[in-house]
């Protein structure tokens, strides 16, 4: 349902003084560990590393500093931009700071916010109609595999590489490489994100790693060890479901939608070294590893999952954890983060990585990346680029992480910042440790191809059949793979 909100609230004088003081203190720190701007090179690689370990002292680029560098932020003063946003705490953090951008650039920003159930339908309608109504929009990486090749989005490389349009503190190398590259794709079906002539369809501004969030009180009560593998999760979930009235063991998504496949399911799937497609773009959901993992997943839901699993979206999964209706969830780490405040389970939520495969101790996690993209139909592309580089820049992302809920940070400097680290350690103990263990092996593990939504929706429907109708797992996955191969051939993607 459309809920247009047209102007950001003005900040009070007290708030302005507070922010300026913070910015002033931050700029002192910046002077101590100055990071010279370098010409952004999108193809350069930087090894992902854990926050707080071997990186240089994190730099803080305050809004005040941004305004005082040589870059002409006021070049597009007087322009008006409109954003299309999804109802999400990341969007809330962005909206709360929009006045800062307006003060810096003189560009006025308005926005529309839609709930996630209908958000991407709205995006599809807006972009496919070639409307210039929206200049920038929130998107996920998977959506860029459709929107990008359709020429609905702008390849941002041209702006990133333009020194006249990109401020020297943008520092594209500060982005966590796995995350930045996940928003880039060449358009060639089967080619991994960030490979070949990958176009940068969007810039990340917040992401989610899939891990286990659990209720520490329940585990303490039953003296349970936090499970790490899928068989352990099944055993623990089944035990809790039997022992606790009005509580089930493990919450996972189950709606008939692509969103059911990408979080916990695909992460565990990857741990079993299963793939969605092989190197020849043939469906691989019926490989022996995939069948083994899927059987366990179905078993997990039946023995310890939510009673109305087929209707569960991320809202239900998260709300149940917060309401004390579930003991664990295998979903986005930020889902547990949001439930750790103002809920029945507040203060009692812990996080742990999942190395689902007992034969492989490595924890792999698929990621969901909220990103900002530029509409190819915008009449204010340069001004929109100003907005994008600000919204994904160090200053705003740091503010979002410290004062808002804009975690997980997509930049090293923000993830390593003492304030961010202190906040997470103090209020969300275990969150950072889980994040650090998962980040080296966290990326998008799907194979980019234009029928992504067909494939994952059919996959979710098949999963539902296996859980609710008791359909044979191997036979169902064989049928799914055959159907997908036919669709890929009909679409001309494979022979």
Partner 1 sequence: MARRVATTNLQEGVAVAAAPPTPTAAARARWRPYLLVAPSIVLTIWVLYPFAQSVWYSLHHYVLSQPWSRPFVGLRNYQKIFTDPDFLHTVAVTLEYTLLAVAIELLLGMLLAFLLNRDSLLTKILRPLLILPLMVAPAIGSLIWKLETNPQFGFVNFFMSFIGQRYFPWGSSPRTALLTVVLVDVWIFTPFIALLLLAGLRSLPQQPFEAARLDGAGAWFTFRTLTLPMLMPYILIAVMFRILDSLQQFDIIYAMTQGGPGDTLMTFQLRAYLEAFTFLRLSESAALILVLWVITYAISYVMVRYWNRARAHLRGA
Q: Kindly state whether residue 155 participates in binding partner 1, applying the rule CB under 8 A.
A: no
Q: Kindly state whether residue 121 participates in binding partner 1, applying the rule CB under 8 A.
A: yes
What's the chain's length in residues? 495
Segment interacting with partner 1, rule: CB under 8 A, options 7-15, 233-241, 276-284, 305-313: 305-313
Q: Find the angle CA(353)-CA(270)-CA(449) to the nearest 5 degrees.
A: 130
CA distances from 440 to 172, 198, 353 (A): 19, 21, 12
In the complex, minimum distance from the CB of residue 335 to partner 1, in angstroms, rounded to a whole number: 18
Closest CA to 431 of 331, 330, 321, 349: 349
Q: Kindly state whether residue 61 participates in binding partner 1, applying the rule CB under 8 A.
A: no
Q: Kindly state whether residue 474 participates in binding partner 1, applying the rule CB under 8 A.
A: no
In the list 64, 255, 343, 485, the residue contacting partner 1 (rule: CB under 8 A) is: 255
Indicate the angle between helix axes 89-96 and 394-403, nearest 10 degrees.
Answer: 120
Strands (E) in 64-107, as ranges, are 80-86
Q: Kindly state whether residue 472 participates in binding partner 1, applying the rule CB under 8 A.
A: no
Segment interacting with partner 1, rule: CB under 8 A, options 28-36, 63-71, 436-444, 452-460: 452-460
Q: Kindly state whether residue 478 participates in binding partner 1, applying the rule CB under 8 A.
A: no
Segment interacting with partner 1, rule: CB under 8 A, options 46-54, 368-376, 397-405, 445-453: 445-453
Q: Kindly state whether residue 53 participates in binding partner 1, applying the rule CB under 8 A.
A: no
Return the number of the residue (70 or 245) whose C-beta is nearest partner 1: 245
In the list 8, 42, 149, 400, the residue contacting partner 1 (rule: CB under 8 A) is: 149
Return the number of the residue (143 or 200) whose C-beta is nearest partner 1: 143
Closest CA to 145 of 191, 99, 109, 95: 191
Q: How many CB atoms lie within 10 A of CB 307?
A: 8
In the list 187, 457, 474, 478, the residue contacting partner 1 (rule: CB under 8 A) is: 457
Q: How many residues bind partner 1 (CB under 8 A)?
A: 33
Q: Kindly state whether residue 465 participates in binding partner 1, applying the rule CB under 8 A.
A: yes
Please tell me what DSSP assigns to residue 287: S
> What does R_g of the chain's alpha carbons equal in angstroms?
22
Of the CA atoms within 13 Å of residue 367, those in its CB half-sphere come to 31
Q: Kindly state whether residue 464 participates in binding partner 1, applying the rule CB under 8 A.
A: yes
Give CA–CA dist 320/322, Å, rounded.
Answer: 5
In the complex, minimum distance from the CB of residue 174 to partner 1, in angstroms, rounded to a whole number: 32
Give CA–CA dist 438/424, Å, rounded.
Answer: 16
- CB distance 67 to 106 below 8 Å: no
Return the number of the residue (277 or 309) whose C-beta is nearest partner 1: 309
CA distances from 483 to 14, 184, 190, 265, 285 (A): 61, 28, 18, 20, 11
Q: Kindly state whether residue 314 participates in binding partner 1, applying the rule CB under 8 A.
A: no
Q: Kindly state whether residue 241 participates in binding partner 1, applying the rule CB under 8 A.
A: no
Please tell me what DSSP assigns to residue 378: -
3 state DSSP class of 3: strand
Return the number of the residue (27 or 319) whose C-beta is nearest partner 1: 319
Strands 3-5 and 108-114, sheet pairing: antiparallel
Q: Kindly state whether residue 311 participates in binding partner 1, applying the rule CB under 8 A.
A: yes
In the complex, minimum distance from the CB of residue 201 to partner 1, in angstroms, rounded to a whole number: 13
Give CA–CA dist 410/394, Å, rounded.
Answer: 10
In the list 124, 132, 195, 376, the residue contacting partner 1 (rule: CB under 8 A) is: 124
In the list 54, 164, 426, 469, the residue contacting partner 1 (rule: CB under 8 A) is: 469
> Which parts of this chain interact with partner 1 (CB under 8 A)?
121, 124-125, 128, 146-147, 149-150, 152, 246, 255-258, 307-311, 320, 325, 450-451, 453-454, 457, 461-462, 464-465, 467-469
């Amino acid at each position: 349902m459309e809920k247009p909100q047209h102007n950001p609230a003005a900040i009070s004088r007290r708030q302005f003084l507070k922010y300026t003081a913070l910015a002033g203190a931050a700029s002192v720190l910046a002077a101590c560990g100055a990071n010279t701007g370098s010409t952004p090179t999108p193809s350069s690689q930087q090894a992902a590393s854990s926050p707080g370990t071997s990186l240089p002292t994190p730099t803080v680029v305050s809004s005040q500093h941004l305004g005082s560098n040589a870059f002409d932020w006021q070049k597009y003063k007087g322009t008006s931009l409109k954003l299309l946003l999804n109802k999400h705490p990341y969007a809330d953090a962005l909206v709360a700071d929009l006045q800062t951008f307006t003060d810096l650039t003189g560009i006025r920003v308005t926005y529309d916010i839609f709930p996630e159930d209908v958000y991407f339908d709205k995006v599809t309608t807006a972009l496919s109609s070639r409307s210039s109504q929206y200049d920038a929009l929130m998107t996920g990486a998977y959506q860029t595999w459709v929107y990008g090749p359709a020429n609905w989005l702008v390849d941002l490389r041209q702006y990133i590489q333009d020194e006249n349009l990109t401020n020297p503190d943008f520092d594209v190398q500060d982005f966590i490489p796995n995350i930045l590259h996940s928003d880039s794709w060449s358009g060639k079906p089967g080619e991994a994100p960030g490979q070949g002539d990958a176009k940068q369809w969007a810039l990340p501004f917040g992401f989610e790693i899939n891990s286990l969030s659990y209720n520490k009180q329940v585990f303490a009560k039953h003296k349970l060890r936090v499970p790490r593998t899928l068989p352990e999760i099944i055993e623990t979930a089944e035990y809790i479901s039997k022992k606790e009235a009005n509580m089930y063991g493990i919450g996972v998504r189950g709606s008939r939608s692509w969103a059911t496949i990408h979080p916990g399911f695909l992460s565990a799937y990857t741990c079993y070294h299963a793939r969605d497609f092989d190197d020849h773009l043939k469906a691989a959901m019926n490989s022996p590893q995939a069948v083994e993992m899927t059987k366990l997943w179905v078993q997990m839901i039946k023995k310890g999952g939510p009673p109305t699993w087929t209707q569960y979206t991320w809202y239900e999964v998260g709300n149940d954890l917060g309401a004390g209706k579930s003991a664990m969830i295998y979903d986005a780490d930020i889902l547990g983060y949001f439930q750790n405040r103002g809920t029945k389970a507040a203060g009692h939520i812990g996080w742990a990585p999942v190395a689902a495969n007992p034969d492989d101790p490595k924890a792999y996690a698929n990621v969901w990346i909220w990103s900002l993209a530029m509409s190819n139909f915008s009449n204010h592309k340069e001004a929109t680029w100003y907005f994008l580089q600000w919204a994904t820049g160090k200053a705003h992302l740091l503010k979002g992480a410290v004062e808002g809920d804009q975690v997980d940070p997509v930049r090293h400097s923000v993830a390593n910042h003492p304030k961010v680290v202190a906040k997470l350690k103090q209020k969300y103990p275990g969150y950072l440790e889980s994040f650090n263990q998962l980040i080296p092996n966290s990326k998008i593990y799907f194979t980019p191809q234009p029928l992504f939504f067909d494939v994952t929706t059919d996959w979710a429907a098949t999963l539902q059949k296996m859980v609710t109708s008791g359909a044979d797992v191997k036979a169902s996955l064989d049928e799914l793979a055959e159907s997908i191969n036919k669709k890929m051939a009909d679409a001309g993607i494979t022979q």
